[in-house]
């Protein structure tokens, strides 16, 4: 199955959440433009996922990015690396195979994963728009895999933490007059930073985000961005709050109370009609105010 859309329609946090929660395996390809003077030139990133976890990121169609970096750092000679690639079983990540054969150390694999995957993924969150295609039928090349991975949800949390320009996501931020409630109760599966942890603790379903800002002494934009991160990784959900204004006129200007006739069976028939009318008017108001 192939999924094709744009980040303008389906944001990267939403996309990663879908891939993680669905335990998707396949190739996510993003095509985007970075030079406005050359609109015909497109950059490409290929994100390899296995059961909702990101295992590699590359910009090369020949899937030789990992091998090229190993050679550039002089850790293995090109000739020896070719021999090991040919000997590596088809279902084993090349990085893991080279470690078991004694050619790479665990810290070297972590460095490769940091440079080739973590940095690349965080950079994707700066994209204002891109075309993407997720293909679940593609055979994933093990020559790009270190053997390390992180969930797409963890990638979202990391990418949004380092994001500086939120203009492309501003419309998706929760409203300042909304509250949050915790979807995950008890032990969290993600490690949060200090502010994320405090916002999560205040997510009781009634404390408004602008009130959280006052309590935590943080600008409202920072609180909204933090709340969006927690929403994007499925730890909390937004609770829209409806403010009901009180009448400001004098008491004597209020209309006369409506009398309610009671039927013989004791039910308040007019009261039921009034309740239905009120509900219909409220629903109409909510629809028109979207």
- Asked if residue 270 lies in contact with residue 258, where contact means CB atoms within 8 angstroms, the answer is yes
Q: Are residues 120 and 97 in the same domain?
A: yes
DSSP lists the bridge partners of residue 32 as 43
Q: Are residues 27 and 108 in the same domain?
A: yes
167/251: higher pLDDT: 167
Q: Are residues 156 and 173 in the same domain?
A: no
Rounded to an integer, what distance in angstroms lies between the CA atom of residue 90 and that of residue 269? 75
Q: Say if residue 251's pLDDT is above 70.
A: no
Q: How many CA atoms lie within 13 A of 72 on its CB side?
A: 7
Rounded to an integer, what distance in angstroms lies between the CA atom of residue 231 and that of residue 227? 6
Judge whether 101 lies within some domain: yes
Judge whether 246 lies within some domain: no
Q: Which of 208, 232, 23, 11 is nearest to 126 (CA)?
A: 11
Query: Other CB atoms closer than 10 Å to residue 50's CB: what's the count?
Result: 16
Judge whether 244 lies within some domain: no
Q: Are residues 46 and 102 in the same domain?
A: yes
Give the burial class of 16: count Cβ atoms within 10 A of its Cβ; 0-12 exposed, 13-18 middle, 19 or more buried.
buried
- Asked if residue 257 lies in contact with residue 227, where contact means CB atoms within 8 angstroms, the answer is no
Judge whether 127 lies within some domain: yes
pLDDT tens per residue, range 171-225: 999 999 999 999 976 656 789 999 999 999 999 999 999 999 999 999 999 999 9
Domain interval for residue 235 = 167-239
Q: Are residues 26 and 157 in the same domain?
A: yes
CA pseudo-torsion sign 18, 25, 94, 61:
negative
Judge whether 248 lies within some domain: no
Residue 45 pLDDT grade (very low, low, confident, very high; cuts 50, 70, 90): very high
Q: Are residues 76 and 15 in the same domain?
A: yes
DSSP readout, 232-257? HTTSEEEE-----PPP-S-GGGSPPP
State which of 129, 161, 193 marks the end of a domain. Answer: 161
Judge whether 290 lies within some domain: no
Query: Other CB atoms closer than 10 Å to residue 134's CB: what's the count?
Result: 21
Q: How far is CA 151 from CA 49, 119, 258, 282, in A?
A: 9, 15, 60, 42
Q: Are residues 64 and 106 in the same domain?
A: yes
Q: Are residues 188 and 62 in the same domain?
A: no
Which of 33-37, 168-172, 178-182 has the highest average model confidence (pLDDT)? 178-182
Q: Are residues 171 and 156 in the same domain?
A: no
Rounded to an integer, what distance in angstroms lies between the CA atom of residue 126 and that of residue 31? 13
pLDDT tens per residue, range 135-156: 999 899 999 999 999 999 999 9
131, two tokens: 């075309």
State which of 127, 161, 195 marks the end of a domain. Answer: 161
- Asked if residue 33 lies in contact with residue 18, where contact means CB atoms within 8 angstroms, the answer is no
Judge whether 247 lies within some domain: no
Q: Say if residue 53's pLDDT is above 90.
A: yes
- Asked if residue 241 lies in contact with residue 207, where contact means CB atoms within 8 angstroms, the answer is no
Q: Are residues 154 and 120 in the same domain?
A: yes
Q: Are residues 75 and 193 in the same domain?
A: no
Phi, psi dihedral angles at 93 (to 5 degrees): -60, 135
Rounded to an integer, what distance in angstroms lies between the CA atom of residue 251 and that of residue 163? 53
| N residues, the chain | 290
Q: How many domains does the chain have?
A: 3
Q: Say if residue 130's pLDDT is above 90.
A: yes
Query: Other CB atoms closer than 10 Å to residue 256's CB: what's the count?
Result: 5
269/74: higher pLDDT: 74
Q: Are residues 172 and 151 in the same domain?
A: no
Judge whether 245 lies within some domain: no
217: left (phi over 0), alpha (psi -120 to 50) or beta: left
């Amino acid at each position: 199955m192939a999924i094709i859309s744009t980040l303008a329609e389906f944001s990267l946090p939403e996309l990663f959440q879908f891939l993680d929660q669905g335990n998707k395996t396949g190739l996510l390809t993003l095509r985007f433009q970075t030079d406005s003077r050359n609109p015909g030139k497109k950059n490409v990133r290929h994100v390899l996922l296995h059961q909702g976890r990101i295992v590699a990121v590359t910009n090369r169609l020949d899937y030789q990015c990992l091998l090229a970096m190993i050679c550039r750092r002089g850790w293995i000679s090109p000739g020896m690396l070719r021999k090991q690639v040919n000997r590596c079983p088809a279902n084993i990540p090349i990085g893991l195979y080279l470690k078991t054969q004694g050619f790479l150390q665990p810290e070297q694999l972590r460095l490769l994963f940091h440079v080739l995957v973590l940095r690349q993924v965080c950079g994707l969150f700066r994209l204002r728009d891109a075309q993407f295609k997720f293909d679940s039928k593609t055979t994933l090349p093990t020559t790009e895999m270190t053997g390390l991975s992180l969930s797409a949800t963890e990638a979202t949390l990391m990418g949004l933490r380092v994001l500086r320009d939120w203009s492309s996501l501003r419309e998706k931020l929760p409203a300042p007059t909304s509250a949050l409630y915790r979807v995950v109760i008890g032990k969290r599966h993600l490690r949060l930073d200090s502010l994320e942890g405090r916002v999560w603790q205040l997510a009781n379903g009634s404390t408004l985000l602008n009130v959280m800002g006052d309590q935590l002494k943080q600008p409202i934009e920072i609180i909204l961005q933090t709340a969006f991160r927690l929403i994007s990784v499925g730890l909390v959900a937004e609770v829209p709050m409806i403010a009901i204004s009180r009448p400001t006129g004098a008491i004597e200007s209020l209309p006369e109370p409506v009398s309610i006739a009671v039927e013989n069976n004791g039910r308040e028939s007019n009261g039921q009609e009034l309740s239905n009318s009120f509900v219909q008017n409220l629903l109409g108001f909510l629809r028109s105010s979207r």
